[in-house]
């Protein structure tokens, strides 16, 4: 079935990044998770609970993803070319995160603008919830989504990291 999720999830970590250790996970179809402020046991629990698939450590499956993330965090990459496995997301979350994925490097949007963009103009709070549960921050750049009037709002990695990422991208904050 074309939209059924892949059977195995592969994971590994990037050590010594500017924001700490980053855990990555992918299926045969593409990236499924980017996590930091966690550990191996919590990641495995999250992956098996959320995706209900077998999980295997395999750094070779994540080589391109790791390379692109390292380049991004070093300020050398503005756009990701890696595949993303959207198949296991709920339709609304997928719609919101596809709109978020399209926000260019160095630019921002707001929860309200994204709700209008996806044709649900009164759903800014629901957009915020979808962003808050983004399983692939950095790659799906939810740090580029701001509150009304361009204010910094919550971020899973903390507001200090959100601000650092935006400044790294050259975004001027109000």
Q: What is the pLDDT of residues 88-140, one digit of tens each?
A: 899 999 999 999 999 999 999 999 999 999 999 999 999 999 999 999 999 99
Q: Is 136 helix (H, G, I), strand (E, B) or coil?
A: coil
Say if residues 143 and 137 touch (Cβ distance below 8 Å): yes
Spell out the domain ranges in the chain: 8-73, 91-168
> Quick one: CATH architecture of 8-73?
2-Layer Sandwich (3.30)
Of the candidates 142, 145, 146, 161, the residue annotated as catalytic is: 142
Q: Reply yes or no on whether 142 is catalytic.
A: yes
CA 136/CA 78 separation, integer angstroms:
16
Of 108, 114, 130, nearest to 174 by C-alpha is 108
pTM of the complete model: 0.91
Domains 8-73 and 91-168 share a fold: no
pLDDT digits (tens, 9 = 90+) for 71-87: 999 999 999 999 999 99
* Cα Rg, the chain, nearest whole Å: 16
Fold of 91-168: Arc Repressor Mutant, subunit A (1.10.10)
């Amino acid at each position: 079935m074309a939209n059924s999720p892949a059977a195995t999830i592969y994971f590994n970590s990037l050590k010594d990044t500017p924001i700490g250790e980053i855990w990555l996970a992918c299926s045969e179809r593409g990236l499924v998770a980017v996590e930091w402020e966690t550990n191996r046991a919590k990641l495995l629990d999250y992956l098996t609970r959320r995706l209900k698939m077998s999980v295997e450590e395999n750094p070779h499956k994540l080589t391109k993803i790791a390379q692109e993330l390292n380049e991004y965090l070093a300020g050398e990459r503005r756009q990701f070319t890696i595949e993303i496995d959207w198949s296991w997301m709920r339709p609304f979350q997928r719609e919101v995160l596809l709109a978020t994925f399209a926000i260019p490097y160095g630019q921002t949007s707001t929860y309200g603008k994204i709700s209008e963009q996806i044709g649900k103009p009164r759903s800014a709070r629901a957009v915020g919830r979808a962003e808050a549960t983004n399983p692939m921050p950095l790659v799906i750049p939810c740090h580029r989504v701001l509150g009304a009037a361009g204010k910094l709002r919550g971020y899973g990695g903390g507001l200090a990291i959100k601000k650092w990422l935006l400044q790294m991208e050259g975004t001027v904050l109000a």
